[in-house]
Amino acid sequence: MRIVITGGTSGIGAVACDALLTAGHSLMIGARNRTAAALWKGRGAHIEALDLASLASTRAFAEAIAAFAPVDALVLNAGVQLVQPARSIDGFDLTFATNHLAHYLLARLATPYLVSGGRVLLTSSGTHDAAEKTGIPPPLHADARLLAFPEHDGALDRDPGTRGRRAYASSKLANVMTARELAARLKATRPDLTIAAFDPGFTPGTGLARAYPGVISFAFKAVLPALRVFGGRVSTPKVSGRLLAALAVSPAYAHARGAYFAVRANQLQEKPPAILAQDAKACAALWDESAAMVGLPA
């Protein structure tokens, strides 16, 4: 199979790439740091420049996908979690731009290059759902305009760290809603596609918390992986990465339409997403507002 993946140079994405290459699949990996991607190039993967903080770079990557096509699976996996406010090259909140807008744009531009029976996967997180009680401040809404320009949000958290963590959870909600709306909009024209969101579980050691202060970052890397206080939601990059690879290629997950799969007790389980993600009107509104931001028709 020919698979395109973002976020393949570290964490669960790197584990997934290793599993897919070992199984003989052909990979195209989008990477901002080409040095970090050199290992995969040495193993035969196609490496293309990709800065998800730039819509122009994202569009250029989509053009590279067209040259790589036909594509069997599009794995939109990359993500950031910040503790200080930052802007993308295009002026959007950096977390929202990287985790949602760029992947939304890639889903829109690259889906036409998927083969019959192809797959679109978006890596989300249990943090998108307040009911999961993950310890991360949950989303308050899915208003794309306020997520892209949080300074206009009357409910914006004053503490930068809290604001950054909630922005992450909100972007992961947007990932789930995008998967569901993509499935809904392609129901008539591409009923062959598998479209799903993926929650890797709580996976310390991925590097996601690299922007955190030293002590907290160390705890995520070295202390929390040994704990089991998170119950069945705790996982490791090795386990979740292999399950992401399985979701991309295994016949067991074919024909899922807007499904949400979560790693629980080291296995993939299909679960209902957050209540807001099940709101069809909210999903459609997020889609339309995102389209305007990236310069596409709704």
- pLDDT of 213 reads 58
Nearest CA among 63, 58, 3 for reference residue 29: 3
Cis peptide before 70 (omega within 30 of 0): yes
Strand-pair partners of 194: 119
CA distance 192 to 255: 7
Would you give the end-to-end CA distance of the chain in angstroms? 30
Two tokens at 53?
Answer: 């903080």
Q: Give me the amino acid identity at 200.
A: P
Mean pLDDT by 10 residues, the chain (298 residues): 97 97 98 87 96 98 98 97 96 98 98 98 98 96 98 96 97 98 98 98 71 47 46 89 98 96 96 98 98 97
CA distance 78 to 31: 9
- pLDDT of 94 reads 98
CA atoms within 13 A on the CB side of 42: 6
Q: What CATH number belongs to 2-294?
A: 3.40.50.720
Nearest CA among 237, 166, 273, 194 for reference residue 7: 237
3-state secondary structure the chain: CEEEEECCCCHHHHHHHHHHHHCCCEEEEEECCCCCCHHHHHCCCEEEECCCCCHHHHHHHHHHHHHHCCEEEEEECCCCCCCCCCECCCCCEHHHHHHHHHHHHHHHHHHHHEEEEEEEEEECCHHHCHHHCCCCCCCCCCCHHHHHCHHHCCCCCCCHHHHHHHHHHHHHHHHHHHHHHHHHHCCCCCCCCEEEEEECCECCCCCCCCCCCHHHHHHHHHHHHHCCCCHHHECCHHHHHHHHHHHHHCHHHCCCEEEEEEEECCEEEECCCCCHHHCHHHHHHHHHHHHHHHCCCC
- pLDDT of 81 reads 95
User: What ranges do the domains of the chain cover?
Assistant: 2-294
Q: Is the pTM of this model over 0.85?
A: yes
Spatial contact of 203 and 171, defined as CB atoms under 8 Å apart: no
117: left (phi over 0), alpha (psi -120 to 50) or beta: left
